[in-house]
Amino acid sequence: MSVEIDTRPIWVLLALRALKPLFYIVLAAVFLYLVAMPAPAGLSAAGQRAIAIFIVCLVLWVSNMVPLAITSLFAIVLVPALGVLSKKETYALFGNEAVFFILGAFILAGAIMHSGLSNRIALNIMDRFGRSPRTLLLSIFLLAAFLSFIMSEHAVAAMLFPIVFDISKGLGLKPGKSNYGKLLFFALAWGCVIGGVGTFLGGARVPLAIGILKESTGKSIEFLDYAVAVFPLVIVMLLAGYFLLTRFFPSEVADVSSAHAVLSRRLKGLTKMSYNEYAVGGVLGATIFAWIFFGKAAGLAAIALSAVVCLFALRLVRWKDIEEYVNWGIILMYGGAIILGTALDKSGAAEWIVNLLIGKWADKPWMIFAIFSLLSIFLTEAMSNAAVIAILLPVGIGMAERVSISPALLTYSIAVPAGLAFMFPMSTPANAIAVSSNYITVKDMAKGGFIMCVVAWVSFNLFAAFYWPLIGMGYGK
């Protein structure tokens, strides 16, 4: 047993313990007030309740006073109980594709770890790049970003997670305490997030946004146009991310040579790759191939679950082998977040918030662009990025007509920031997966993520104002 003794005065410890019940009482009072107060003009009763639930869940998620998954379960209870959505609709939302995609990704990751393949890959990566803490960090950061250009960032995070986890274990980093452990998992999460906005393939949000644009205006955005417009932003964000992380979490690991020697010995001690490793690697390779080339048609979740079925059909894993790798807490959390996002959308609460914040006072194209990108980047922290697009884009396209801004440009202003979710684990599965390592706390992520959001928003708007006109993408129609 490893223990720590808190030597602060007893009255301080008692006061801190008393804060928790007080916190719940205040939160409950705020919630009841928000539910009971007269609904503001333009907001339905259901929308008002959805906002109340959203605020309570956001506070609980951020404060981590209860486990993230339990907050989500609370949302699942409150949404139908307060009549925001029907019971049937609420529970059906839990069957969302994203939830099953994450489940499949966890099982795949479990199989890789159980077969020993991730250990082998981790040892090889460390052996090759682990000459210094800096190069190791950079290799993970850039690898995550590059892979997210060509496949879903969620899948990249799921694939790299066991490798980074093994590297952290190999270095003997203490979860929750080691700055270098934090750096490695931030590099994984933020690498995926930044890389994920680089192309259409990084996630489902851009195809969804283009679909809405096309339905509303008949216009579209081409793959190359998008890449040329957004790629410089990716470069800037990668630089900013690396700079910020290394300043925020100064590495306590000055030298990885001792770990390197141990890892080299371990590498030598490895047997030849087993059939299981080859087979699991093959299934993983086929899954990645399918995600890249058939992801849009077949769906990421369907491909992930098919891979899981393959693993079991080929008897590469047994349920009890991978059960411990499935983080049900994250799955519950993500399901709850989707339900909450949908509740905000369908109750009209999200639209009311947009109208309230933007209203009629914003009439300049750059201002509209800035406001929508700001709303998008902050709403995506608490909601599914697809839901952010579903909420903001119809309103935005309507507004574009009114202020003579290109609807395609406005689509960028929402679709790109919707992918830049740096702050919370519920913002995107990449963050959730990184937090599930226990090396990063929600507080760590919120602190660094907020600055990244601000940098991303400012950079994005500067690129829109000064770079995009150079490539023929002005604000005007």
Partner 1 sequence: MKENYIDNPAALKIDLMLRGLRIDDPLVRAWACGMDGVDIMLPRNTLVNIPCREEFTKGSPYVLRKKGGGYAITDGRGEVAAELVKRPAFYDRKTSTGVPFSRIATVHGSLTSIAPSSRCDFFNASVECKYCAGNLDVKGADKTIYSVEEVVETVEAVLEEGVGGLIYLSTGFSEGTDGGIVFLKPYLHAIKRKFRCLVAVETLPPRENRWIDETYALGADSVLYNLEIFDKELYEIICPGRAASIGRKRCMDALAYAARIFPNGTVASHLIVGLEPPGSTMQGIDYLTGIGAVPILPIYRPRPGKALRIDPLTTEIILPVYKHLYRAVTEKKISLTWVRDLSMVTTPAEIRALVDDAGTRPSIVESFYKSRLGRKTAWGLSSLRRKLRVKASEGGEEGE
Contact positions vs partner 1 (CB under 8 A)? 1-7, 10, 13-14, 17, 174-175
Query: Which of 64, 459 has the CB closer to partner 1?
Result: 64
* Amino acid in the structure at residue 86: S
CB-based contact 334:126 (threshold 8 Å)? no
Query: Which of 2, 271 has the CB closer to partner 1?
Result: 2
Helix axes 365-382, 407-419, angle to 10 degrees: 30
Query: Which of 17, 320 has the CB closer to partner 1?
Result: 17
**First-to-final CA distance of the chain:** 67
Q: In angstroms, rounded to a whole number, what is the distance separating the alpha carbons of residues 104 and 107?
A: 5
Query: Which of 5, 224 has the CB closer to partner 1?
Result: 5
Quote the radius of gyration of the chain (alpha carbons, Å): 23
| Smallest separation, CB 11 to partner 1 (Å) | 10
| Smallest separation, CB 18 to partner 1 (Å) | 11
Q: In angstroms, rounded to a whole number, what is the distance separating the alpha carbons of residues 354 and 395?
A: 8
Rounded to whole angstroms, what are the CA distances from 58 to 63, 291, 442, 444?
Answer: 8, 32, 12, 16
| Smallest separation, CB 2 to partner 1 (Å) | 5
Query: Which of 175, 207 has the CB closer to partner 1?
Result: 175
CB-based contact 195:147 (threshold 8 Å)? yes
Name the phi and psi angles at 139, rounded to 5. Answer: -65, -40
Query: Which of 10, 36 has the CB closer to partner 1?
Result: 10
Extract the tokens encoding 218. 């008949």
| Smallest separation, CB 261 to partner 1 (Å) | 24
Q: In angstroms, rounded to a whole number, what is the distance separating the alpha carbons of residues 437 and 234?
A: 25
**349-388: b or e for each residue (b if 16 or more CB lie within 10 Å)?**
bbbbbbeeebeeebeebeebbbbbbbbbbbbbbbbbbbbb
| Smallest separation, CB 288 to partner 1 (Å) | 34
Q: In angstroms, rounded to a whole number, what is the distance separating the alpha carbons of residues 197 and 375?
A: 17
Query: Which of 345, 444 has the CB closer to partner 1?
Result: 444
| Smallest separation, CB 22 to partner 1 (Å) | 17
Query: Which of 185, 291 has the CB closer to partner 1?
Result: 185
| Smallest separation, CB 432 to partner 1 (Å) | 22
Extract the tokens encoding 76. 């699942």
| Smallest separation, CB 267 to partner 1 (Å) | 27
Query: Which of 3, 313 has the CB closer to partner 1?
Result: 3
| Smallest separation, CB 65 to partner 1 (Å) | 17
- Note the residue count of the chain: 477
CB-based contact 329:67 (threshold 8 Å)? yes
